[in-house]
Amino acid sequence: MHLHCQAQSNPPQNVSPDTSQIKINLFNHKKVMNEIFGTPNMDIRTIGIFVYDGFFTLDAIGPMAVFSELMDTKVFYISHKKGLVKSGRTQIYVSHTINEIKELDILVIPGGSTATWHLTKDTALLNWIRKIDKTTQITASVCTGAWILGAAGLLQGKKATTHWYRAQEMLGRFGATYESKRYVNDGKYWTSAGVTAGMDMCLAIIQYIRGDKYTQGAMLDLEYDPQPPIEGGIPAKSDPKVFQFMQTMYDYGMLPLIRNDNEEKKANTSNNKSKKKTKHKSCETKQNHCHE
């Protein structure tokens, strides 16, 4: 939290002096903070945000901004390799790799679209996520990052949320129960709806760790008070024609991948059944020979 301390500075002329105002200086700063904000419920020292080419920018930058409000906590990006990671018009320099990071207190997986889908098939990444999850106090996803957590098997039997695009269908693929909420907490797993909802989830996690007053301090530092000019943002609050257009646009990129995956699963299931039948016939043949 970026608190600025001044020793008994004069109040602005347009603000009435408040005699009950807390006076903070370099010597009593920590004491006053503890009196106001209390002590943490959890000891969070490291937060890693996994990024990859094609992630949606705010899915990662939002959590970075919010979690940077946690004092004495290191927040950093992680990727497959060091260097620049591209997100639309944005590039982020990453100095930590999945091969280097062995444990985290909090892991965050941001979302995207086709790039995110492809990572649900990335065995090396999924294995790393499972290993890190064994060390975390909180494992979280933003937007379609829930697809990756689901592919790692971490949302099986859990309540979760994700971006509105085919949300129930997508989470159902991984054995999760979709809840149409801004964010969902089930055990140590936190999932948020699309993009901006990730900031709400991260603030909720700060509230969980540090309480209401510390969260208010973070919100003041960020001046977090969303006031969109019109109603929208989710299908239920959007014009049906706008929703249909956006859904069709997403389908153009995603449906071929989803259908191809469905066909592969059917083929694998069919092959497995054929193998079982062949094995069963082989056993019967052997038994008949034995009886002869």
Percent of the chain at pLDDT exceeding 70:
85
Closest by CA to 117, choosing from 256, 244, 247, is: 256
| 128 and 212 both lie in a single domain | yes
| 136 and 88 both lie in a single domain | yes
Q: Hey, what are 157's tokens? A: 């039997």
| 196 and 274 both lie in a single domain | no
pLDDT score for 24: 83
| 275 and 195 both lie in a single domain | no
Q: How far apart are CA 203 and CA 273, in angstroms?
A: 48
Segment 90-97 mean pLDDT = 96
Domain boundary, last residue among 222, 251, 272: 222
Q: Which of 143, 202, 283, 290 is catalytic?
A: 143
Cα-flanking dihedrals φ and ψ of residue 55, to 5°? -70, 155
Residue 229 lies in a domain: no
Residue 155 lies in a domain: yes
Q: Is the pLDDT of residue 16 over 70?
A: no
pLDDT-derived band at 31, boundaries 50, 70, 90: confident
The two counts, helices (H) then strands (E), for the chain are 9, 10
Q: Which residues pair with 93 in a beta bridge?
A: 84
User: pTM score, two decimals?
Assistant: 0.86
Q: When comparing pLDDT for 76 and 280, which is higher? A: 76
Alpha helices, DSSP H, located in 112-154 = 114-119, 123-133, 145-151
- Which H or E run includes 76? strand 74-78
Residue 50 lies in a domain: yes
Domain boundary, last residue among 196, 222, 248: 222
Check if 5 is active-site: no
Q: Is the pLDDT of residue 4 over 50?
A: no
Cα-flanking dihedrals φ and ψ of residue 153, to 5°? 85, 10
Q: Where in the sequence is the domain holding 259, given as residue range(s)? A: 240-283
pLDDT tens per residue across span 212-265:
999 999 999 999 999 999 999 999 999 999 999 999 999 999 999 999 999 988
**Encoded amino acid at 62, one letter:** G
Segment 102-119 mean pLDDT = 98
